[in-house]
């Protein structure tokens, strides 16, 4: 019997495992890095042990540190979560050697599936259909016949890290000339993320669906499947929206894919929860991708349609119990959809964003929201999102009787969420869930590569921006009055008699459009926005919330102010209302001199580490040439030349950490009319 579990993971993963442990009467132990010392999962655990360090390599990946924490607290089992050490055969073996139960499959199963090359061979032997592929040996990326060998698979090809996952170490190559650079980049990323630079090539199936089968096995030799999840909606090979059941899977296809997944599990002697992933082609044929020997991020959709707790099944299997009867007969009830809420900017190529969550509220049935909505998150208001870990803020899941109802429920929960402090993909998720392609089931893994993401999200109307500028002005004025030494309860701009209005100027971010708000607060509230008179009635206004009627419609807004280390002229006002979240920069009445960046400067689009400099001062470069490679959130981002030119200066060095907006390269172009500020192109 398992009495105390140490969770060798962090964030929402740790909180998810703790929830089931509490329900089973099992005590929990958290481990944490210096960065996570004040995180919610640390507070929720019964006990917690500091690992030190601020990066995964110095904390969560330390096998000896984890085992020492387990011994100190008397934990008799370790749950690895679904990241870090969860697919590390050496860690599973070390747990066994220490007399601690590892809640997961055997070291042998993890090792066999840890290499995608080895996994392909084993699945072929088990009769599971696989795509043709080619493993690259050392030096192959320099061989003259590399492109020819890749061509035998059929273009385009996919470069994949053998030890990879989550889209890392993966590149799509459409032409021979780009293959060598893609292989080199994938190897670097694979070495950084997994400690193994081995990559292989595989034919790239055009417009496939990504469908995976959940399997569960016990120590008595039983392996069953719990239906499929459709994870086709992806960006950069990382899943964005997942659902169960799949709109593309018939009962006959489910039976065939389920049988193949069970065969894979039986070949491994699989114990615990795992996932067999397949590519489903437009012609209905499916091909093995990999086996994830752990719980998946998207497992809640399976739980909601089957009524089973997969973490509970994991713990029971690790304790030697047989699978319950409820897991042996597949019954799927209704439809569940999960959206991954990321701290990222979809309109800027899905670049990760960092900052402090001034507000973070997503309503569930327990917090006054709708029935059928579940939120798994490792963050709360006031938490800081850093570059050290994955940028996912939360998983938001909705369950309803039909797919259409689940999509509508999830879209509404996201639309009404209060998220302030950094840019997220919330508006994109809402647009996808409400759009015809998704609702009609016309999604594949390349959907987001084909559409204009900025257009999909759409732009707020002038009326929306006008209302949000009014709210920003009211909240900013209220914040100023709240700290006034005298008469702090009197609103800014209050007059007994008619007088000149107060004025505030804002700029929309990132568009930079200027919006003027002139207002007089008195017995009647006169407000002019961009020269247009607006009917406004203020019911309540503070620095953080505004209740206001604008043009006859009353709405409530959440507001946050984000100060900047670069001075008040860079401070942002964040307004969250029914139309979404808008970011405004307040233009100071007496602004300081603007920063004068050298002409031709190429800037860092996000905080990160410079891992590769491809140019030096004085070199001639051509449009599209890779100049600098940054690493952030475990992904590579390549800065390319926007035009032909000459490198004037490289102010950074390899290994240096840089903030957003840091100058990476100064590029001079002979054409003075050319826009020289540079562009960022993401390869990762």
Q: How far apart are CA 54 and CA 10, in angstroms?
A: 13
Write the CA distances from 196 to 216, 447, 608, integer angstroms. 28, 30, 22
pTM: 0.80
Which range has highest mean pLDDT (176-190, 204-218, 574-588, 632-646)? 204-218
Phi, psi at residue 167, to the nearest 5°?
A: 85, -5
Confidence of residue 239 (pLDDT cuts 50, 70, 90): very high
Alpha helices in 558-660 (DSSP H): none
Q: What is the pLDDT of residue 421?
A: 84
Question: How far apart (Å, rounded) are the C-alpha atoms in residues 190 and 196?
Answer: 6
Cβ–Cβ under 8 Å, residues 203 and 158: yes
Strands, DSSP E only, in 281-347? Answer: 286-292, 335-342, 344-345
DSSP state of 309: -
Dig out the tokens for 38 from the structure. Answer: 């004040």
Give the mean model confidence (pLDDT) for residues 268-272. Answer: 97
Reply yes or no on whether the pLDDT at 148 is more than 60: yes
pLDDT digits (tens, 9 = 90+) for 498-515: 567 888 899 887 777 889
Q: What is the pLDDT of residues 300-320, one digit of tens each?
A: 999 999 999 999 999 999 999
Q: What is the pLDDT of residues 7-37, one digit of tens each?
A: 999 999 999 999 999 999 999 999 999 999 9
pLDDT on residue 591: 53
The encoded tokens of residue 18 equal: 């703790």
Is it the case that residue 221 has pLDDT exceeding 50? yes
* Angstrom distance (rounded) from CA 614 to CA 89: 36
| Mean pLDDT rounded to a whole number for the chain | 87
Tell me the Ramachandran region of residue 154: left when phi exceeds 0, alpha when psi lies from -120 to 50, beta otherwise: left
**For residues 212 and 333, what is the distance between their CA atoms, to the nearest angstrom?**
18
CA–CA dist 371, 399 (Å, integer): 8
Provide the pLDDT for residue 428.
94
Q: Could you say which DSSP state residue 592 is in? A: P
| Span 374-386, pLDDT tens digits | 999 999 999 999 8
pLDDT of residue 522: 61
What is the Cα–Cα distance from 272 to 323, expressed in whole angstroms? Answer: 10
SS3 per-residue string spanning 209-242 = EEEEEEEEECCCCCEEEEEEEEEEEEECCEEEEE
What per-residue string of b and e applies to 317-353 under the rule 16 or more CB within 10 Å gives b? bbeeeebeeebeeeebebbbbbbbbbbbbbbbbbbbb
State pLDDT tens for residues 563-588.
765 555 567 888 988 877 888 888 87
Is residue 564 within 8 A of residue 572, CB to CB? The reply is: yes
Task: pLDDT band for 682, please (50, 70, 90 cuts).
Answer: very low
Position with higher pLDDT, 404 vs 193: 404
* Cβ atoms of 418 and 359 closer than 8 Å: yes
d(CA 470, CA 528): 9
pLDDT at 672: 41
Query: Which residues, 6 or more positions from 609, have their beta carbon under 8 angstroms from its beta carbon?
Result: 630, 631, 632, 655, 656, 657, 658
The two structure tokens encoding residue 345: 């900017």
Contact 448, 438 (CB under 8 A): no
What is the mean predicted confidence (pLDDT) over 628-632?
85
pLDDT tens figures, 612-626? 899 999 899 988 888
DSSP 123-172: HHHTT--B--EEEPPTTGGG-TTHHHHHHTT-SSEEEEETT--TTTTEEE
Handedness of CA 148, 150, 152, 156 (dihedral sign): negative
Which tens digits make up the pLDDT trace of 404-458?
A: 999 999 999 999 899 988 889 999 999 999 999 999 999 999 999 899 988 888 7
Q: How many residues does the chain have?
A: 684
Q: What is the pLDDT of residue 673?
A: 39
Helix and strand numbers (H, E) in the chain are 17, 40
Q: At residue 143, does pLDDT exceed 50?
A: no
- CA 49 to chain centroid: 27
**What are residue 418's DSSP bridge partners?**
361
CB 41 within 8 A of CB 380: no
Taking the C-alpha atoms of residue 662 and residue 574, their distance in angstroms, rounded to an integer, is 23
| Cα–Cα distance, 393 to 631 (Å, whole number) | 20
pLDDT of residue 555: 93
Alpha-carbon separation of residue 640 from 454, 614, 651, 670, 681 (angstroms): 21, 10, 16, 18, 6
Look at residue 216 in the predicted model and tell me its pLDDT: 98
Residue 205 has pLDDT above 90, yes or no: no
- Average pLDDT of the segment spanning 155-175: 82
Q: What is the pLDDT of residues 525-552, one digit of tens each?
A: 678 887 888 888 889 889 899 999 998 9
Q: Which residue's structure tokens are 């655990």?
A: 45
The dihedral over CA atoms of 55, 57, 61, 64, expressed in degrees to the nearest 10, equals -110
The pLDDT value given to residue 307: 97
What is the per-residue pLDDT across 322-349, written as a single tens digit (0 to 9) for each? 999 999 999 999 999 999 999 998 888 8
Question: 50-102 pLDDT, tens per residue?
Answer: 999 988 889 999 999 999 999 999 999 999 999 889 999 999 999 999 999 99
CA 290 from centroid of its chain's CA atoms: 21
């Amino acid at each position: 019997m398992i009495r105390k579990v140490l969770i060798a993971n962090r964030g929402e993963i740790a909180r998810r495992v703790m929830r089931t442990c509490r329900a089973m009467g099992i005590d929990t132990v958290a481990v944490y890095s210096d960065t996570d010392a004040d995180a919610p999962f640390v507070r929720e655990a019964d006990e917690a042990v500091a690992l030190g360090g601020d990066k995964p390599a110095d904390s969560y990946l330390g096998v000896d540190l984890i085992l020492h924490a387990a011994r100190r607290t008397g934990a008799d089992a370790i749950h690895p979560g679904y990241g870090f050490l969860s697919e590390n055969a050496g860690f599973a073996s070390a747990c066994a050697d220490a007399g601690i139960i590892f809640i997961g499959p055997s070291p042998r199963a993890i090792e066999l599936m840890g290499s995608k090359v080895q996994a392909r061979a084993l699945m072929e032997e088990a009769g599971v259909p696989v795509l043709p592929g080619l493993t690259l040996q050392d030096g192959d990326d320099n061989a003259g016949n590399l492109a020819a060998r890749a061509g035998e698979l059929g273009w385009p090809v996919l470069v994949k890290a053998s030890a990879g996952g989550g889209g890392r170490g993966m590149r799509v190559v459409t032409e021979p000339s780009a293959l060598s650079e893609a292989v080199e980049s994938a190897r670097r990323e694979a070495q950084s993320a997994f400690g193994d630079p081995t990559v292989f090539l595989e034919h790239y199936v055009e417009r496939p669906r990504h469908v995976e089968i959940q399997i569960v096995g016990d120590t008595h030799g039983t392996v069953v499947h719990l239906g499929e999840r459709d994870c086709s909606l992806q960006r950069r090979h990382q899943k964005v929206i997942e659902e169960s059941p799949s709109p593309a899977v018939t009962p006959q296809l489910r039976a065939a894919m389920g049988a193949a997944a069970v065969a894979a599990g039986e070949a491994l002697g699989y114990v615990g929860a795992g996932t067999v992933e397949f590519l489903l082609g437009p012609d209905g044929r499916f091909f093995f991708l990999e086996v994830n020997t752990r719980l998946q991020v998207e497992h809640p959709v399976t739980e909601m349609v089957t009524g089973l707790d997969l973490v509970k099944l994991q713990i029971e299997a690790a304790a030697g119990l047989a699978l319950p009867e409820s897991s042996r007969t597949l019954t799927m009830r209704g439809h569940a959809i999960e959206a991954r809420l990321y701290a990222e900017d979809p309109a800027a190529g899905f670049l990760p964003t960092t900052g402090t969550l001034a507000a973070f509220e997503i309503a569930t049935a327990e917090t006054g929201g709708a029935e059928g909505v579940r939120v798994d998150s490792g963050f709360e208001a006031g938490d800081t999102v850093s570059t050290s870990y994955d940028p996912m803020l939360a998983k938001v899941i909705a369950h309803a009787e039909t797919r259409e109802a689940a999509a509508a429920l999830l879209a509404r929960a996201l639309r009404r969420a209060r998220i302030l402090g950094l840019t997220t993909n919330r508006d994109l998720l809402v647009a996808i869930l409400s759009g015809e392609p998704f609702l009609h089931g016309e999604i594949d893994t390349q959907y987001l590569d084909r559409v204009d993401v900025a257009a999909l999200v759409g732009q707020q109307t002038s009326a929306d921006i006008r209302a949000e500028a009014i709210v920003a002005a009211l909240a900013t004025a209220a914040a100023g009055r709240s700290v006034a030494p005298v008469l702090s309860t009197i609103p800014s701009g209050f007059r007994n008699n008619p007088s000149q209005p107060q004025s505030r100027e804002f700029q929309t971010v990132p568009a930079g459009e200027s919006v003027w708000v002139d207002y007089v607060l008195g017995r009647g509230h006169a407000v002019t926005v961009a020269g247009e008179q607006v009917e406004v009635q203020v019911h309540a206004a503070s620095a953080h919330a505004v209740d206001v009627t604008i043009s006859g419609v009353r709405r409530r807004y959440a507001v946050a102010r984000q100060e900047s280390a670069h001075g008040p002229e860079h401070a942002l006002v964040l307004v969250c209302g029914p139309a979404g979240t808008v970011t405004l920069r307040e233009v100071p009445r007496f602004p300081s001199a603007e920063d004068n960046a050298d002409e031709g400067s190429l800037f860092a689009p996000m905080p990160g580490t410079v891992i590769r400099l491809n140019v030096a001062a004085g070199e001639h470069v051509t449009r599209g040439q890779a100049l600098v490679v940054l690493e952030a959130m475990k992904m590579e981002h390549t800065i390319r030349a926007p035009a032909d030119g000459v490198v004037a200066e490289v102010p950074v060095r390899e290994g240096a950490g840089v903030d957003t907006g840091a100058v990476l390269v100064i590029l001079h172009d002979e054409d003075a009319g050319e826009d020289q500020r540079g562009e960022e192109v993401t390869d990762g």
